[in-house]
Structure 1
Amino acid sequence: MQFGRLASARVVDLSLTLSERLPGTWPGHMSFAHHNWNWFAEVEGPTGKTRSAAPYQTNFIVIDEHCGTHFDAPTHFVPPEGSGLPYASELGDETGDRVPVEELMGPAAVVDVRSLAGEGKPGISPFIEPGHVEAWEREHGALREGEVVLFRTGWDRFYVEGEEGRGYMEGALVTGDLPGWPAPSPQCVLYLHERGVKTIGIDAPSIGSAHDGVPVHQEGLSRGMRYVEILTNLGELPARGAFFVFLPLKIAGSSGGPGRAIAFLPG
C-alpha cells in the first residue's frame, strides 16, 4: 500500500456545518438541536444557570438521521421481508450499521449539472436524465464499475442563514413558491446501476426530487445502492481524479445517518 501518496494528498471537506440556524433539517422531521450540558464554570445563560460539575465543556445533540451531510441505507425506503409491502426484500434488514463502509467510498466521477439549477418550477425539481450522464461520458470517458458519481448542482449555495436559506428546502417543500433542486430521475439511477455505480452523492437536499422523491429512492435502494446527500465543495474536485470517502456514525438499526464526507486529491 502506497501510504506516501495518501500522506501527500490534499483533503477536501465535502461536509456542511450543522447548526439550528442552517437549513439542514428535512421539513417535518425532528429539528436539529445542540445544547450545552456542562461548562467550565457556572454561568448565567438565556435559560438560566448552566451547571458545572467540573471544569470541562460537553454538549448534547438531538438529530434526525437524515439531517445535514448524511447517507441513506437501503432500509430507509425498503421494507423488510415478510412485511407484505411493496419493494420488501432482504435489503430491508440492511440498516446503516450493516452497510459495508468500503461501499461508501471510491474514485469520484463529478458530473456538473449546474445548468439545470435554474430550470425548476415552484415546488418542482428539474430531472437529471441519463442523457446528461451520457454527455459527461462522451467528454470524460465511460463510467467504470465501483466509481462514485457525485452530482454537482450548485444548490449548496442556498445553505445559509436567513431568508436566502429558504431556497435550500423550505421554499420548494413547505411554501411551494420556490423551485426545487436538480435531482436524478429514476431512469438516471437505473442507468448508473447498469454501469456498475453503487454510490451516488449530491450537493442538494436529496437524491429525490422536491415534488416526487419516493420513486428514485425505491428504485435505487431496492437494488442495494447508497445515497449520500447534502454535500458541498464539489467544485473543488476535478471531473475525475479524486477519491471520495463517506464515514457515517455507526448507529444500530438506523436508516442511514450523518457523517463526514471528504475527498482525497493527489498531492
Structure 2
Amino acid sequence: MSVLDALLAALTDGSVEVVDLTAPLSSATPILQLPEPFADTVPFQLREISRYDDRGPAWYWNDITTGEHVGTHFDAPVHWITGRDGEDVSQVAPRRLVGPAVVLDAAAHVAGDPDFLLEVDHVRDWEKAHGPLPEGGWLLYRTGWDARAGDQAAFLNADGTGPHSPGISAECARWLAEETPIQGIGVETVGTDAGAAHGFEPPFPCHSYLLGADKYGLTQLRNLDHLPARGAVLVAAPLPIVGGSGSPARVLALVER
C-alpha cells in the first residue's frame, strides 16, 4: 500500500482524525481594534447577490467584504516592516503550508492572569517533557482564549489601560524566531502578540521578530485542546492573494487516534 493510500484508509476508518482549528467567519467575528490615529480593518460581511429569485432563479451567492487579518488568518512576512522585502501570501511555498505541529498548553496560567506571557524557560520545560520543537513545524500556543471568541468585548478584554490578552514575551519571540527550527506560531487570540505588546520593546515582538525571520503566524485558532502535545500534522490554507499581507485561512490538523 502506498503512503497516500494508507493515509486515505486511515481517514476512512477514523484512525486519523481531521480536527478543524478554524473559527467560523461571520459579521460577529471579533476583530482587532487599534487606537487613533491608526486605521482598523473592516469586519466580515456578506452581501447577497441572488437567492433563488428573480436576480438568479436557480442559485444563491454573495459578495464578501473582509480584511486580510479577520478571523482565523495567516500572517505573511510582508505584513510587518521587518519582513517588507519578504513573501506576500501568494508567494508562500505550498510545502510550507503543511507541517508538524506541537501544542504548548498554558491555559492554567492564563486562567489566573490574562496578561500571562510565555517565556523561553516555559518552552524549554516543555521540550524537556516532550522533545525538541519540530524542524519546519508550528508551535501552537494554547491559552483557552478561544472560549471567549463569541463575544468581541470579552475576546479583546480591554479597559482604560488597553487590551489584556495572553501572548509571548519579547525575549521569547526573538528566541523562537532566531534560535529555533519552527516555521511559525499559532495562537487563539486576535493576533500573535499579547494585548499589551504595543508597550514592549520592540512593540509587537512576535510580528517584528518572526515575520522578519521569514516565519509565519496563525491567529484565532480553536480546538487546540483536541490535539496532542506533539504528533499532529497541520494544514494551513490561506487564499493566494497577490500582494496580500495575509489571508483568512482554513486551518486543519491531522491527528492519529
TM-score scaled by length of structure 2 = 0.86
Question: In structure 2, what is the Cα distance between the partners aligned to 1:131 and 1:205?
Answer: 24
Query: Where do 1:145-156 residues align within 5 Å?
Result: 145-156=135-146
Name the structure with the higher helix share.
Answer: 2
Q: Report the equivalent of 1:45.
A: none
- Identical-pair percentage: 32
Whether the aligned pair in 2 keeps the contact of 1:103 and 1:199 (CA below 8 Å) is: no
* 2:195 is aligned with 1:210: yes
Q: Report the equivalent of 1:18.
A: 25
* 2:250 is aligned with 1:260: yes
Q: Report the equivalent of 1:135.
A: 125
Whether the aligned pair in 2 keeps the contact of 1:20 and 1:33 (CA below 8 Å) is: yes
* 2:156 is aligned with 1:184: no
1:249 deviates by: 0.6
Question: In structure 2, what is the Cα distance between the partners aligned to 1:135 and 1:66?
Answer: 32
1:33 deviates by: 0.9
1:216 deviates by: 2.3
Query: Where do 1:80-95 residues align within 5 Å?
Result: 87=82, 90-91=85-86, 94-95=87-88
The verdict on how the C-alpha distance between 1:89 and 1:34 changes in structure 2, with shifts beyond 3 A counting, is: closer
Equivalent in 217, 223, 237 of residue 247 of structure 1: 237
Letter in 1 for 2:101: A
1:91-141 Cα offsets, whole Å, 9 max, x none, are: 2xx1111111222321111000112323446xxx32111111111111111
TM-score scaled by length of structure 1 = 0.83
Question: In structure 2, what is the Cα distance between the partners aligned to 1:210 and 1:76?
Answer: 18
* 2:111 is aligned with 1:111: no
Letter in 2 for 1:126: F
* 2:216 is aligned with 1:226: yes
Q: Report the equivalent of 1:29.
A: 41
1:90 deviates by: 2.9
The verdict on how the C-alpha distance between 1:113 and 1:254 changes in structure 2, with shifts beyond 3 A counting, is: same
SS in 2 for 1:40: strand
Aligned length: 238
Question: In structure 1, what is the Cα distance between the partners aligned to 2:144 and 2:231?
Answer: 20
Q: Where does the alignment leave 5 or more consecutive residues of structure 1 unmatched?
A: 43-51, 79-86
**Backbone CA RMSD of aligned residues:** 2.0
The verdict on how the C-alpha distance between 1:73 and 1:253 changes in structure 2, with shifts beyond 3 A counting, is: same
Q: Where does the alignment leave 5 or more consecutive residues of structure 2 unmatched?
A: 11-15, 34-39, 199-203
Question: In structure 1, what is the Cα distance between the partners aligned to 2:83 and 2:168?
Answer: 23
Q: Report the equivalent of 1:235.
A: 225
SS in 2 for 1:217: helix
Q: Report the equivalent of 2:3.
A: 2
